[in-house]
Every structure is written in C-alpha cells, then in structure tokens.
Chain A
Amino acid sequence: MKNAVGREIPDNIEGIGKVKPYEGAFKNIGAIEKTKVKVSSKLPNEDKVLSSIRESIIKCGLKDGQTISFHHHLRNGDHVLNMVLKEIDELGIKDITVAASSIFPVHQPLVEYIKKGVVTGIYANYISGPVAEAISLGLLKKPVVMQSHGGRARAIEEGDLHIDVAFIAAPTCDTYGNINGVDGRAACGSLGYAIPDAMYADKVVAITDNLVDYPACPIEISQEYVDYVVKVDSIGDPNGIVSGTTKITKDPVGLKIAKMAAQVIKASGLLKDGFSFQTGAGGTSLAVAAYLRDMMKKENIKGSFASGGVTGYIVEMFEEGLFDSIFDVQCFDLKAIESYRNDKRHQGMSASMYGNPHNKGCVVNNLDVMILGATEIDTDFNVNVTTGSNGIIMGGSGGHNDTAAGSKLSIVVTQLTKGRLPIVVDKVTTVTTPGETIDVLVTERGIAVNPNRKDLIEKLKGTNLPIVTIDELKKTAEELTGVPEKVEFDDKIVGVVEYRDGTIIDVLKKVK
C-alpha cells in the first residue's frame, strides 16, 4: 500500500511484522496507553555495586533474543556499547537487538557481532560509519528501525520498543545508582536521551568510571530506576565526546544562506519578545543564530528559550540575556556542559519531554523557529537526512522530524548543490521528514516556501528576498549539475523509517 507521502509500504515486513503506514503528521495524536514497567525492588542494605560488566549481564539474566539499550551522549567517544557487546559475545548470548539512541563510527566492532549473529536487530535514531554501511549492504538479520528522538521515547513508553536491559554510560554515579553527566572525566552534560531507557527498561545497569560516595549531586537519573552499578576504567574518550568550541562557518555561501534564513525569520513576525529557537551545531545552522543574535540585540528582543542539542554559541546568547532559559537534551561542547552544570535556568529535558508526540505536550510544540539541514529535499518538501546519494545510511532523523512537526516555522538551510549533486530533487531517496511539516527551504540561489504556508508567502512578498518555487530551485540545481542517475536498489528491505508517531514513513532497501 502507499502511505501518505506516496511511498510503497508492504503490509508485513519480515522481522518487523504488521506495518502501520504513515497517515499524516498529526493523524495519530490522542489517547494512548503507556506500558507497564517491571521493577525488581531492593531490600535495605542490598548492595548495587557489581564487579564487572559480565557480572551485571548475568545478574540481569540477559537471554538470547532480548533487547539491550544504550544512549549516545558519549557520541564518537563511547566505549560502553563495545564493552558490553564483547562480554555478551563471550558469554555466548545470541540474537540480541541493540536499541542505541545513535550509533557512530567508534562502534565498528558491532559489524563483527552482526556477522556472527550476536546482534540481529538494531533500533537507532541516527547511524553513521561502518555499522550503517553494513546494514545497507544487508548484513543485519532483521530490518533496522530508524526512529526519531521523540519517536524513540514514545516507542519505549508505549511498549513498542521493550528494553530488557538498559546499559547507561554514567559520567558520574554513586554507589546506589544516582547518576549525573556533569562531572567526571567523561562529562557530557545533559543525559536526556537515557531517561526513557532508565524509566522503562526491565533492568538498568549504570556503567561509570567515576564512582562516588552516596549521594551524588546533582542527580539526573535517580536510584529508583537503577538496578546495578559497575565501575570500569573508562566509559569514553573525552576527545570524541565533546568538541572544545563549536564554530560558525566562514564559507561565504553558508553565510549568505544563514543571513537569508534570519531575514525569513524576521519577516515571519515571530522574532519578538518571547521568541523561541532551536538550531543545529553545523556551521550554517549556527550562523543563523549569529545573524539572529545581531538582530535581537539591535531591536532589544528577549527570547523565552532556546532548545535542543546545545552549543556554546547558544549559551553565549543565553548569557547575554537574549534567551530566558535553555532546554537541553544534549550538550555539544564544554561551554554548554559548564553552563548546564552551573545555571539553573539552563534546564535538562528528557527525550520524551523534548519530542514525544504522545505525551501531554513536548517542548518542540512550544518552538517558534527550527533550523534544519537536508541531504535531499524534494518538490513536495519531503526531506531525507537518513541516506546519502549512494543510497547508504549516513544519518537519521535525530530530532529532525520532531522539531519540524512541532515548530511554528521550520526552515531547511542547505546549499543547492553539494559535491556536484543537486540537493532539490523530484523524489527523495528516503523520506525522513514529511513535507507537510517543512515550511521554508533557503538556498544560496533562492528561497522556496511550502505552498501550504500562504500566510508566510504573503509576508515574504513585502521583502527583497529571492522567493521562487521549489520547482524553479530544482531546475536551477539541475542547470548546474545535470540530472544524476538514480541509485539502484535490491528488493530486500534492510530497514524501516519510523515516523515519530510509530507509523512507517519509508523503507530502506539493500544497495546493489
């Protein structure tokens, strides 16, 4: 059957089961039921600290066919996922599903465990590197389930993604399982993505390299959720966890795009007191913040909050009083961590509070403006950030489709061509974010507004901005690059792209 973005979706997919096709961004909102949680209660004086990861796996009773989870706050510096899988392999446990909020190149050893059948299923919101390539080449037994940050929280809370054991990398943890991310050698700041895992997994193991006396302070994930604590030498490499500073692009094309995006925001009328904003850590996205910063200062505008993965640049704007508060699900650099540790108005949020469409209101619903990237965008404004031009997985939604849906104005900023390829195409290779939730595309050669946003088109008419149709942008791109040949795929389905509400918005095929 075809879903609401015109993608052919099978009724049943082997390894997934019956499929519910995507029906529209807001078709599956309303009453839902949360899942029950199994809890093994503790007696007074019972010790939670175990001697090794292996002991924790045995104590949790992990069996063939079960699901384990990880968070990705340690990003490409993470040691925990690899350490846990090594032990699982050595214990002879097979057919494991890994539900990691993201997977990075550092997780290359996972490829071997996939080949050996130790790991047969993967859930993730973002995958890059060798694991992504292995999946696209068809090595994983079951199709990968690509979720969004909000969608993963939803799936865990509703029981669609049942976690048997959550292994939580803990930059700091006390002997009774109270965790924070702000102290320790591998400090990463907010632990927002780990919170649903801690709350809903049958068993929770905190793995730390900074075991402190009870009680830890501050506490982000508390003892009431943690079964066991394991001390290891190192949970991660600080160099891979955070960058020293995040930088604004110096590329004149990127700056031009950013400047126009800021002008679109101004013209939209949303840039006024109470303004709320989120942008990525990429050079162009961050440059939008730089232009907004000047505008806000000049016009003395005080925003309400900035949210998301947080960079030092956003913290600087917050410290200058341009935003009242920050909602932080993940810190991208040391400055963000420091601010999160020291300033009460720099608040943490869980993945669910951030983007889960099935709670009683997530933060993205309060966002005025979201700046997004795109690998491809089609003439229906559907965006792909999941697969690259060669058809191989190279990313995923992360918060892309959550923020696009929630924000009042979602703006995609991208160069019109990249590496001799057009970015605006007829049909994107993979739909990550439906076009109905994308309002504007800003490129260096023109700005296209979603025809559904008639109000915005009217507002932009009164400006000097180069407003064109998305078809014209596609034509301009093709004038420069020609029309590339389509990537050829095998019929085998290697993954599904789950929209934030749990419906299937696209499938991923094996590359030839």
Chain B
Amino acid sequence: MKLRRSMLFMPGNNPGMLQNAGILGADSVILDLEDAVALTEKDSARILVRNAIKTLRFYNSEIVVRVNPLSTEFGYEDVKEIAQVKPDAIMVPKATEEDIEGVDKILCEIEEKMGFEKGSIKLFPLIETAYGLENVYTIIEASKRVTGVLLGAEDLTNDLGIKRTKKGKEIFYARSKVATSCRALGVDAIDTPFTDLDDREAFIKDIKKAKSIGMTGKAAINPRQIDTIHDVFAPSEEEIEYAQRVLEKMEEAKRDGLGVFSLDGKMVDAPIINRAKTTIEKAKLAGLI
C-alpha cells in the first residue's frame, strides 16, 4: 500500500521548485504543464519537466504530470514526450472516456517501444466538467491504468455556472459522486485544492468535510498545506488503538479456535478486521506507530 493523502501541484516551468519538489513530503507531486504554464512557455516547460524526471530525485513522492487538455495542440504532444521518461502517472484534465482511451493507447505504444512494463504508467482523470462528473464511473472504467480521480471544483463550478464558496456546499454532490464511484471501482478519490492559504481553520474543516464524504486524499497548491492534510487523513489515536485491540483480539480468538468473536460487546466480522488492518498499515506508513 502506498499512501496518497496529499498531491502537491508544482509549476512545470519553475526549475527551482521542480528541484525541491521531491523533498517537501507530499505523497504525490503533480508537475503541472497546464494552468501554471503560459501559452508561450508550453514547449519549454515540457522539456524542463521531462529532464527533471530524468535527472532529479523525487524520493518517496509519486511523480504525476498534468498534461494539457487533449483537445489542445499541446495535450498529446505532452503525453508522448513525458511518457518516455516514465512518470508514475499522467493526469488528464477535463477528462472524458475518449481521452482516457486515447492516452491509454499511446501509453501502450510507448511502453512497448521503451521496454517499460505494460500498464506501469498510471492515469488520473481530472473531473472538472459537468459531463465528466456525471460519467466519472465510466471514465474510470475506460482504462485499467486509472488509479485515482482528482476533483477540480474551480472549473466544475464554472461549467455549472455556479459560485464557488469557501464552505463548499455547492460541491457536496460532486464530492459524493466522485467518492462513491471511486470506492466502487477501488481507486483513490482526491479532493479539490483549498485556495485560501491564510485561513487554516477553514482549511482543516474543508479537509475533514471531504474525508467524511469518502474522499481519500486532497490536492495541495502550497507545500505548507501538506502537513495539515496528512494530519487530517492520518488515522486518529483512538482509531489506531481500536484497530490494535481488534487485531489482538483476533489473534486471541484464533488461538482459542474461535471463528467469530466480540469486542466491547459487539460482534467483530471480516469488514471490521479488514478496516483495522488498513488502519494499522496507514498508521505505520504515516510513521505514527
């Protein structure tokens, strides 16, 4: 299991920031060729990001590259160039089923040509249109490479013609829809970034809200947001303690030859045991135990 609690956006045209992308502690870094890069710098950013992946160390951070929308002249060029240096994943903006199938096909060709393991480059559809949201399930199904979905609320609310607010009531449906589809298909559901860097309290509330609906991680637009995201997505002390007790009790029951057992007066069954195992694994990965 690899944690994907935080995904940090880094502009693809800033060498200084790219150099440090891997040391900031984010579970994933998204090297951005799309919104962060001006039209006049699209090709130089592509080369910069390609060379950064080739030469720099990203330590424990997963490398994801957000390419330009495939409907633009840059999109497929980005995919072809970047795939050759084997990022962990490619993020496709305003994704449709057709886009995901199209990128999948190119990746198959490049993996074969370069001798990479087939299917090793993963995909992240970015759900940020009304169409994308309503079809998120089939978009995920469009390729086995899809490993997670990022919800992009700014563009989505724009497409819906509604106002984006700090409290985020307007994206409740979108979050629920993305989270449910992702859970159903066993991929990660990454929540939209929170843009007010100075309002830490509202930021924490926003992450908690996303977590409570079933999102598994959150995008960050500033390295300062990473620790807060990790704190909220980390299993709490009570959760860890409960999980440890479940697993201890399970061992005990096994020794005694019991199939089912109870803890605190409640029956413990397979889903509870699985959840306890996941909690412990997450806690270990987060360095909490």
Contact = CB atoms under 8 A, between A and B. Distances in A.
Interface in A429-468: 444-445, 464
B287 A464 contact: yes
A255 B224 contact: yes
A464 B25 CA distance: 12
Contacts of B223: 252, 255-256
B20 A252 contact: yes
A480 interface: yes
Q: Which of A252, A256, A479 has the most CB of B within 10 A?
A: A252
B14 interface: no
A479 B57 CA distance: 10
Nearest to B22: A445
B19 interface: yes
B19 A480 contact: yes
A427 B83 CA distance: 41
Contacts of A444: 20, 23
Contacts of B59: 445
B24 interface: yes
A27 interface: no
Q: Which of A255, A256, A479 has the most CB of B within 10 A?
A: A256
A252 B287 contact: no
Contacts of B57: 445, 476, 479
Prevailing SS type, chain B contact patch: loop
Interface string B55-75: 011010000000000000000
B19 A250 contact: no
Nearest to A466: B59
Nearest to B226: A252
A479 B56 CA distance: 9
Interface residues of B, number: 12
Q: Which of B23, B25, B56 has the most CB of A within 10 A?
A: B23
Contacts of A256: 23-25, 223
A44 to B, nearest CB: 65
Contacts of A9: none
A252 B19 contact: no
A250 B224 contact: yes
Nearest to A476: B57
Contacts of A253: 20, 23-24
A476 B23 CA distance: 13
Interface in B248-271: none
B188 to A, nearest CB: 23
Interface string A225-265: 00000000000000000000000001011011000000000
Interface string B209-226: 000000000000011100
A445 B287 CA distance: 18
A255 B23 CA distance: 11
Contacts of A445: 23, 57, 59
Contacts of B20: 252-253, 444
9 closest A-B pairs by CB: A252-B223, A464-B287, A444-B23, A253-B20, A252-B24, A445-B23, A256-B23, A256-B24, A252-B224
Given A252-B223, A444-B20, 15 more contacts: A250-B224, A252-B20, A252-B24, A252-B222, A253-B20, A253-B24, A255-B223, A256-B23, A256-B25, A256-B223, A444-B23, A445-B23, A445-B59, A476-B57, A480-B19
Interface of A: 250, 252-253, 255-256, 444-445, 464, 476, 479-480
Interface of B: 19-20, 23-25, 56-57, 59, 222-224, 287
5 contacts: A252-B24, A252-B222, A256-B23, A444-B23, A445-B59
